[in-house]
């Protein structure tokens, strides 16, 4: 489907795991794109016009057609550029990949937000328990080097939130949720995934991301007092 005429733009922010997912997918496919930098709390009118429902990044614009929501964008990328498939071809394996990637966004993310966005001890405790249950499910699901097998797939890309951001989040909060002792397979996966040449190229600098998370967390905790 790719042609010389086509134009691919990605509206994003460097510290966003959701944007990072889309970048990994585009790089895996070898699709060239223009990165349009958006600023947190000061989004461009163009972005809001492209995503009036959620008013957030990432938005992929392909030949003037905007697509929002990271997992929807990744499926679009996989269907538009066929090389290096991100989803398996077998329908039941595709269903499993969608199930676990939705699980990361629904269950795991919900739990870690509980841990990181409050100072209420009971709420944090509940969040820690739910995070660990979710990680345990993923630990059990990991059968090969990657969730996608020998190559990176949908669940791996969705899981960049766990491989790269979770260690940062736990460092800021001062917890040890995700360790090689508790989740040996998942921990190894996170190292392999973060060190995959394409992923490594896309990931933002660790210290910068840590400081940005620390700052935004302090601000939102202060605002919620």
Question: What is the largest distance, in Å, between two alpha-carbon atoms of the chain?
Answer: 56
Which residue in 10, 20, 21, 75 binds a copy of itself (CB under 8 A)? 75
Of 2-61, binders to a copy of itself (CB under 8 A) are 53
Contact between 80 and a copy of itself (CB under 8 A)? yes
Query: Shortest gap between Cβ of 207 and a copy of itself (angstroms)?
Result: 33
Tokens of residue 46, six digits: 């163009």
Contact between 68 and a copy of itself (CB under 8 A)? yes
Which residue in 103, 117, 182, 214 binds a copy of itself (CB under 8 A)? 103
Contact between 98 and a copy of itself (CB under 8 A)? yes
Contact between 99 and a copy of itself (CB under 8 A)? yes
Residue 105: DSSP 8-state: I
Contact between 94 and a copy of itself (CB under 8 A)? yes
Helices 70-80 and 17-29 cross at an angle (nearest 10°) of 10
The span of 7-15, 26-34, 97-105, 142-150 binding a copy of itself (CB under 8 A) equals 97-105
Query: Shortest gap between Cβ of 204 and a copy of itself (angstroms)?
Result: 26
Which residue in 37, 95, 113, 221 binds a copy of itself (CB under 8 A)? 95
Strand ordering across the sheet containing 8-12: 34-37, 8-12, 59-62, 65-68
The span of 17-25, 99-107, 122-130, 194-202 binding a copy of itself (CB under 8 A) equals 99-107
Instruction: Please give the helix or strand (H or E) that residue 215 lies within, else none.
Output: helix 206-224
112: closest CA among 100, 101, 126? Answer: 126
The span of 27-35, 92-100, 115-123, 195-203 binding a copy of itself (CB under 8 A) equals 92-100
Q: In b/e form, how buried is each residue of 103-121, taking b as 16+ CB within 10 angstroms?
A: bbeebbbebbebbbebeee
Give whichever of 127 and 167 is closer to a copy of itself, judged by the CB atom: 127
Radius of gyration of the chain (CA): 18
Give Cα separations from 120 to 115, 167, 216, 217, 223 (angstroms): 9, 21, 18, 14, 14
**Binding-site ranges for a copy of itself (CB under 8 A):** 1, 53, 62, 65, 67-69, 71-73, 75-76, 79-80, 91-92, 94-96, 98-99, 102-103, 107, 137
């Amino acid at each position: 489907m790719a042609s010389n005429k086509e134009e691919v733009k990605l509206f994003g922010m460097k510290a966003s795991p959701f944007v990072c997912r889309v970048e990994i997918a585009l790089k895996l496919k070898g699709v060239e794109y223009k990165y349009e930098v958006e600023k947190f709390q000061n989004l461009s009118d163009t972005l809001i016009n492209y995503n009036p429902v959620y008013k957030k990044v990432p938005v992929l614009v392909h030949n003037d057609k905007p697509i929002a929501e990271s997992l929807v964008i990744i499926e679009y990328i996989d269907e538009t550029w066929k090389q290096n498939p991100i989803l398996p071809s077998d329908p039941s394996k595709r269903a499993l990949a969608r199930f676990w990637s939705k699980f990361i966004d629904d269950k795991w993310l919900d739990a870690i937000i509980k841990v990181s966005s409050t100072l209420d001890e009971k709420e944090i405790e509940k969040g820690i328990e739910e995070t660990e249950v979710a990680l345990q499910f993923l630990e059990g699901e990991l059968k090969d080097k990657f969730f996608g097998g020998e190559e990176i797939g949908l669940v791996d890309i969705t899981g960049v939130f766990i491989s790269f951001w979770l260690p940062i989040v736990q460092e800021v909060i001062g917890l040890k949720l995700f360790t090689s002792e508790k989740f040996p397979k998942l921990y190894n996966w996170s190292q392999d995934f973060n060190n995959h040449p394409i992923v490594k190229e896309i990931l933002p600098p660790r210290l910068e991301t840590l400081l940005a998370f620390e700052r935004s967390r302090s601000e939102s905790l202060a605002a919620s007092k």
